[in-house]
Structure 1
Amino acid sequence: MQEFLSYLGRKVVIVNLDPANEGLPYPCAVDISELVTLDDVMDGLKLGPNGGLIYSMEYLEANMDWLENKLKHHHGYYFLFDCPGQVELYTHHNSVKNIFAQLSKWNFRLTAVHLVDSHYCADPAKFISVLCTSLSTMLHVELPHVNVLSKMDLIEQYGKLAFNLDFYTEVLDLSYLFHHLNVKLAEVIQDYSLVSFVPLNIQVSERKRKANGHDFPYCFGDLEERNLQALMSAAVGADFQFSTTLSVQEKYMEATGKTVKDEVMDL
């Protein structure tokens, strides 16, 4: 993403907020390891990996002045914050939420990008779990949110999908996947009507542009009318993706020729 934004002429810096990151594969302008590392916390406090990560984020929350001093040297840049992958930090715990809130007070305009491996679509139980996690994160973190199905070229590696790709990206009628108790769980997800996904293959520039904050940095340029339409579409969620989703499906999924109704009858 840093390379892509740089190609578009954006000034970008990466901020590593994951204390477990070692041997970073990208140039990092700000690194939490200068403040705290997971190994030091685990060794010093005799904590496991999960407890160590939670303590590390609480420590960062208590030392936000350190982060502010690091960030202020990069005025006028786009910031990519690489955050820990522990799901509890975004669904239950408040430290990361409070860190984001403080960044907002410093006039950072944030968008959360949640990456999900696309092969989870092949298992209904895992897909429902991913939806619940995404919804819980969106409600807890309280930021503009983009859910991304990554590694689209591997989407059917663990099994053929039961439905067309748009069923999963648009989160259509989940009752086809489950019955009884799970139908009620699916109703909660659909009633909120918040969770949808953007399919991403990192090798395709158009997909990277869609995943990058839903076109926000791309909206500003020379073609004023086009860019205004893109900005307004992103703001109201009206960026219709059927054609692009279909192109991803045709490239990476085996064609069946069946309708959704036919496939439901096969289940």
Structure 2
Amino acid sequence: MGRKTAIINLDPANDCLPYECAVNIEDLITLSDVVAQYGLGPNGGLVYCMDYLEKNMDWLKEKLQLIAKDHYLLFDFPGQVELFTLHNNAKNIIAEMTNQWDYRLTAVHLVDAHLCSDPGKYLSALLLSLNTMLHLELPHVNVLSKIDLIEKYGKLAFGLDFYTDVLDLSYLQYHMNQDASHAKYRKLTAALCGVVEDFGLVNFTTLNIQDKESVNDLMKLVDKSNGYVFAGIEGNINEFCKVAAGPLNWDYYRTGEIQEKYMSDEFIDDFPDD
């Protein structure tokens, strides 16, 4: 697509990188060193590493200053859910980037699609997604990944749109209550489903990494949520509204040129604060 992209690895356990990264947290701290030095397990070690990064944000800022002005940045965070639901280190790192460095970030939360084949696991995924959204306070895209493998784990009780759009969860409750192992928790199930529905925040898009169109659709959704798609619109509020409310079918192959032309300091200074 012609987009200048830089990947920033912030996962200290990512010792076999499948990509070339512009910034690597292992130049600052590694999980293996922390585990060996302090006798921590992998989970405690990751928490320590993220705490250490939070206290050394100047290191990250200095690294990013060399590439941030003319690159689309992809941050690869650890997959440990506690970092994004219970602890504040990742949240504080992200908050500094958005509030002090003026980065426009979107959280992309990957959930294995096979969880849809088990109603209990799917409900857990809904709660985890909601918790993460509330904790990080970012534009958020939830993704059912590996969607091409979903049927391998059993037939779905409902159509795929039920799981992506998070439709009436009373059907999910009824389905779970048919299982004796779930039936005794029907009140708890109803309460948890009620929490998800009351917030009304969670839905999913899908991803098949082998399908170019699927990847493109996800990229468009992310670019719309973080404002990248607005880069080619010069202060026309009507055009902003059209793109914001319209479908994801803009001329996407123009973005490489747009980035070079508009993602400069001069344009960013003129970008609406809201």
Quick one: structure 1 residues 230 and 160, their matched pair in 2 at CA, closer, same or farther if it must change by over 3 Å?
Answer: farther
Amino acid in the other structure paired with 2:163: Y
Q: Which residue of 2 aligns with 1:52?
A: 45
Instruction: Measure, in 2, the Cα distance between the counterparts of 1:18 and 1:218.
Output: 28
Give the Å deviation of 1:212: 2.3
Q: Does 1:194 align with 2:189?
A: no
The one-character-per-residue Cα deviations of 1:6-42 (angstroms, maximum 9, x if unpaired) are: x2x2110000000000120101000000000000000
1:128-143 alignment to 2 at 5 Å? Answer: 128-143=123-138
* RMSD of aligned Cα (Å): 2.3
Amino acid in the other structure paired with 1:182: T
Quick one: structure 1 residues 111 and 230, their matched pair in 2 at CA, closer, same or farther if it must change by over 3 Å?
Answer: farther
TM-score under structure 1 normalisation? 0.80
Candidates 78, 82, 85, aligned match of 1:84:
78
**SS, match of residue 81 in structure 1:** strand
Q: Does 1:157 align with 2:171?
A: no
Give the Å deviation of 1:210: 2.7
Q: Which residue of 1 aligns with 2:92?
A: 98
Candidates 30, 33, 41, aligned match of 2:26:
33
The one-character-per-residue Cα deviations of 1:161-199 (angstroms, maximum 9, x if unpaired) are: 000000000001112122422011101001101000001
Q: What is the number of residues matched between the two proteins?
A: 229
Instruction: Measure, in 2, the Cα distance between the counterparts of 1:83 and 1:211.
Output: 18
Q: Which residue of 1 aligns with 2:267?
A: none
The one-character-per-residue Cα deviations of 1:138-178 (angstroms, maximum 9, x if unpaired) are: 00001000001111110111110000000000001112122
Q: Which residue of 1 aligns with 2:244?
A: 232
Amino acid in the other structure paired with 2:118: D
Greater RCO structure (CA 8 Å; 6+ sep): 2
Preserved contact between residue 11 and residue 76 of structure 1 (Cα < 8 Å): yes
Amino acid in the other structure paired with 1:201: N
1:162-177 alignment to 2 at 5 Å? Answer: 162-177=157-172
The one-character-per-residue Cα deviations of 1:37-95 (angstroms, maximum 9, x if unpaired) are: 00000000000000000000000000000001100000221100000000000001000
TM-score under structure 2 normalisation? 0.78
Q: Is there any run of 5+ residues in structure 1 with no aligned partner, and where? A: 1-6, 241-267
Give the Å deviation of 1:220: 5.3
